[in-house]
Amino acid sequence: MIALEKVTKRYGRQTVVDDVSITFGGEGVTALIGPNGAGKSTLFGLVGRLLQPDAGRISVDGMDVGSTPSSELAKVLAVLRQDNHIAARLTVHDLVEFGRFPHSRGRLTVHDRRHIEDAIGYLELGPYRDRFLDELSGGQRQRAFVAMVLAQDTRYVLLDEPLNNLDLRHMTEIMRLVRRTADELGKRVVIVLHDINFAASYADRIVAMRGGVVVADAPAREVMRPDVLAAVYDTPVDVREIDGRPVALYYG
């Protein structure tokens, strides 16, 4: 499990993550929701050791994030951030190969190659394996990055807004894939989402943040209530049941 104990992060005088204590990353998919500036990405940055907390302690499966060697953490925890810009020209295969770096340190074994092939196959990137990343559509590129993270073969996978700038079809594709990796490969996926309906239909658990504080942490169905959502987003949200699934209506 990923555990935060009284974690605080400030940018200057502004507190972005405020004394948060939470344990997440159980089996299945956990969605992290909340308005812009709630501290979701900062929380991911802290867990993914891109940022140092000003106070508190973070651990992954009992390993302290601050003191465990980065290369060890990379074997249990994979993080995909938003907006990955790469200056060099890489092919899809090159990128996915990098997912094995924590295990192989760049010298690929047969075992590594199998993981790479599996990840490429899983994301149906076979036809594009030799294409350069800048020649792919947004959805394909996002899939290539997810494939890299899968090839890393970690217990925990953290995805920060992987649906950004994707159309309806690609969003559903990515979410279905996230669900499958959790169900078939036993990954524990934590995913930042803006569309709460995606969170409701694909996640097992929803963690809601607001103003740097965790305001809800419960099974998806329990968070999908008008009062809870309205409090999180500061906007009236209606929740209706359609075909047995809760659907949030916020198109005033």
Residues near another protein, by CB under 8 A:
48-50, 52, 69-75, 78-81, 84-90, 94-95, 98-99, 101-102, 105-107, 149, 152
Rounded Cα distance, 30 and 182, in Å: 10
| Smallest gap from residue 5 Cβ to another protein (A) | 22
Nearest CB to another protein, comparing residues 102 and 246: 102
Q: How far is CA 87 from the centre of its chain?
A: 23
Place of tokens 């350069």: 132
In this structure, are strands 156-160 and 77-80 parallel, antiparallel, or unpaired?
parallel
Nearest CB to another protein, comparing residues 21 and 84: 84
Nearest CB to another protein, comparing residues 58 and 223: 58
| Smallest gap from residue 81 Cβ to another protein (A) | 5
Nearest CB to another protein, comparing residues 30 and 152: 152
Say if CB 181 and CB 212 are below 8 A apart: no
Nearest alpha-carbon partner for 163 in 203, 122, 127: 203
Nearest CB to another protein, comparing residues 68 and 201: 68
Please provide residue 222's backbone torsions phi and psi, each rounded to the nearest 5 degrees: -75, -25
Rounded Cα distance, 69 and 164, in Å: 31
| Smallest gap from residue 161 Cβ to another protein (A) | 13
| Smallest gap from residue 78 Cβ to another protein (A) | 6
Nearest CB to another protein, comparing residues 25 and 246: 25
Say if CB 11 and CB 54 are below 8 A apart: no
| Smallest gap from residue 82 Cβ to another protein (A) | 9
Place of tokens 């990923």: 2
**Residue 217 in tokens:** 């942490």
Using alpha carbons, list the distances in angstroms from residue 199 to 63, 224, 236, 245.
28, 9, 18, 12
| Smallest gap from residue 226 Cβ to another protein (A) | 36
